[in-house]
Each structure stands twice: as C-alpha cells, then as structure tokens.
Amino acid sequence: MATVTYQDASRVYPGAEEPAVDRLHLEIQDGEFLVLVGPSGCGKSTSLRMLAGLEEIDEGSVYINETDVSNLPPKSRDIAMVFQNYALYPHMSVFDNMAFALKLRRMPKAEIKRRVDDAAKLLDLEDYLNRKPKALSGGQRQRVAMGRAIVREPQVFLMDEPLSNLDAKLRVQTRSQIASLQKRLGITTVYVTHDQVEAMTMGHRIAVLKDGVLQQCDTPRVLYETPTNMFVAGFIGSPAMNLKTVSLTEGGALFGDMTLPLPREVRDAAATEGANQEVTVGIRPEHCKLGTESSGGIPIEVDLVEELGAEAFVYGHAAYNGASERFVVRTEGKAVPQLAETVHVVPEPGHEHVFHATTGNRLN
C-alpha cells in the first residue's frame, strides 16, 4: 500500500498564461479513497496525470510513499489507471485484456490465471472471460477495465471519470460497487470526477479545485456543512446552495422586508468602510420553509416544481435590490405550490452560511 503526496506541484502548459495546476499541496493517506472534483478545466485530470507520469511537473514534486516519482516514467511508479473510455483491446477476449499487462511482465501463466480468475470473481465477470468487448454492455466493459487494473496489484489506483459513459441508473449502481471494492482491497485510490454527487457518495475525502488551485480538502460532511468559501458552497450540494449578497444591518442580513439574525462577531467580521455594508448569505434548500404572507419571509414567484415523490424542489425567483435572482426550496411532496404562484420563504435561523461579499471567504 502507499501514501501519495503532492508537494507544491505545478503544471504550466506551453503558451498558457496561467498554470493548469498551481502549487498543489495535498497528502493522501494509505488506503484512502480521495476524489478530485471541480468544473471542467479546473486541473483535476491534469493533477491525476501528473501523478501517473503522463504530464510533466514544472515545479514541486510528487511522492509515492517516501519516493520522489516526479521524474520517473509511468511504468516505474507502480500505479494502475482506469480511463474514461476504458481503452480495451477490441480483438482480445476479456481474459486477454485483463492479462495483457501481466504477460508483458513475463509472469508465469499459472500466476496470471490466478490473478485474472480472482479479479473476475470479485467483479462478477467469470461468465464473460471468453467474450470480446463488443459483446459486453457499458457496465461490463467498465468492470473489465477495473479488472485489468486490479490484476496488476498496484500501490495506487488512478481513475479518470470512469463512469461518465454510463447511463444514469448504471452510474449509481457502479459507483457503489467501486466504493465497496476499494474498501475491500484497501488500495489507495485517486478518483477524478466533475460530478459532485458522485464525489459525495464515494470519497473518504474530497479535494475541490478551481482554476488549478485547491480550494478545500475534507470529508463530504465537512464540505457540505462548513464550506470554506463561496465557490465550495455553491459547488457542493444538489440543488446548489442559495447564495445572495444583501445589505448588512445592526440586526443581521436584510432580505427585502425580512432581517435574518446574525451573531455580532459575524457582523463585525463582515463590516466594511462606508454606508453600504454587504454580506453574502448562503442558505441550503432544505433549510427553508414555505410560509404565508402573514408569516413573513422572502416572497418568490414559482418558476418550476420538481416533484420527486416524498419531496419536491421549488424553483423560483425573488427580487433583491432591484434584481431578480434564483431561489430553490425543498418541501414535502404532498403540498407543493403552483407555477407562477407567489410563496414566502422563511430561512431557518442558525443554518445560514455567511461569506465576505468581496473575498468570498467564510465568516462563520
């Protein structure tokens, strides 16, 4: 098994003004399942390829255990990678695809058969070993790609969006299989995805990247409950957190005719010079209630109701400082408002997330 360390590692592509990965400092523990997540172009795949040896490291270092592998070729790093497109050989059987890397090592045939058979049993592929990839479903091909990595018994698994080619139902099923498989094998795994729901359900820890810079790395629960800045707050969670920049008063944050109470220390931290003091408040959809006009709250006009059975998400727009802004509320599925209806949203005190209006950094 192995630990992985990015020691202020950077990658700058020729002709680019900004680094694709900017001084990434990250420590991954032995046996940990770490997910790199972020929007397209944030540097997550580049970070993975730097660890694999497929991208050069312009500054800093990458370590596997205590060994600096920054200048080692990929074959010397004892890693196995699962790609987005599976990269299976179409003319080979499932057995031969899984055994290919072992044959290149000139491993004894009996050992090759043992490893392939063990991986096939683990992945429920025993009945497909003689088939060609074209005779398999997408989920089965993905498992073959996983098996090809497993038989190598590497120190580190690297997975670059391996589920993106699967349909929605199969993705849900397969991601739970990958998570349980990694737990069983105990191999350090670095997993790249742009899907934050996938990241939340699979990773022991999640590293959130933006523009090549690490924003926050922690457990899914900490990221959800205590995002370090507005970017992480808006990225983690589905539907996304409601983020609104509003005026700051002596009592708290002013939402139209309603004041959301904020602690004195938060108001002091957010205070800026001049009369127009502002703060950005984040409220998750589940931390709001639908009320009536008499109960106060923020009036929003309903644009869409997404009914999911036991619950529903109400999408609407509200007026803030003369502008119309989106707002999402989670409510019970039995009592949902109608389209174009005006409802009043009441945030639950104590569940708000407060960020500096200029820097975006968390204040509470």
Predicted confidence at residue 272, as pLDDT, reads 60
At 125-169, the pLDDT tens digits run 999 999 999 999 988 999 999 999 999 999 999 999 998 888 888
Q: Which CATH superfamily is domain 242-356 in?
A: Nucleic acid-binding proteins (2.40.50.140)
The predicted model scores a pTM of 0.92
- Please state the domain extents for the chain: 4-235, 242-356
Fold that domain 4-235 belongs to in CATH: Rossmann fold (3.40.50)
Closest of 69, 36, 39 to residue 54, by C-alpha: 69
Q: Residue 283 and residue 287: Cα distance in Å, rounded?
A: 7
Pairing of the two strands 311-320 and 298-307: antiparallel
Average pLDDT over residues 332-343: 88
At 283-303, the pLDDT tens digits run 999 999 887 777 677 889 999
Q: Residue 72 and residue 82: Cα distance in Å, rounded?
A: 20
353, containing H or E segment: strand 353-356
Predicted confidence at residue 252, as pLDDT, reads 87
- The alpha carbon torsion through 196, 169, 190, 19 (nearest 10 deg) reads -50
Predicted confidence at residue 273, as pLDDT, reads 43
At 19-50, the pLDDT tens digits run 999 999 999 999 999 999 999 999 999 999 99
130 C-beta neighbours (distance < 10 Å), count:
10
Is 282 a residue whose pLDDT tops 60?
yes
Predicted confidence at residue 329, as pLDDT, reads 94
R_g of the chain, CA atoms, integer Å: 25
Helix axes 138-150, 94-104, angle to 10 degrees: 20
Q: Are 146 and 178 in contact (CB under 8 A)?
A: yes
Q: Are 317 and 242 in contact (CB under 8 A)?
A: no
Is 322 a residue whose pLDDT tops 80?
no
Written as six digits, the tokens of 5 are 């360390």
Q: Are 337 and 291 in contact (CB under 8 A)?
A: no
Q: Residue 86 and residue 142: Cα distance in Å, rounded?
A: 6
Written as six digits, the tokens of 86 are 């599976």
The beta-carbon contacts of 12-15 under 8 Å, at least 24 apart in sequence, are: 12/58
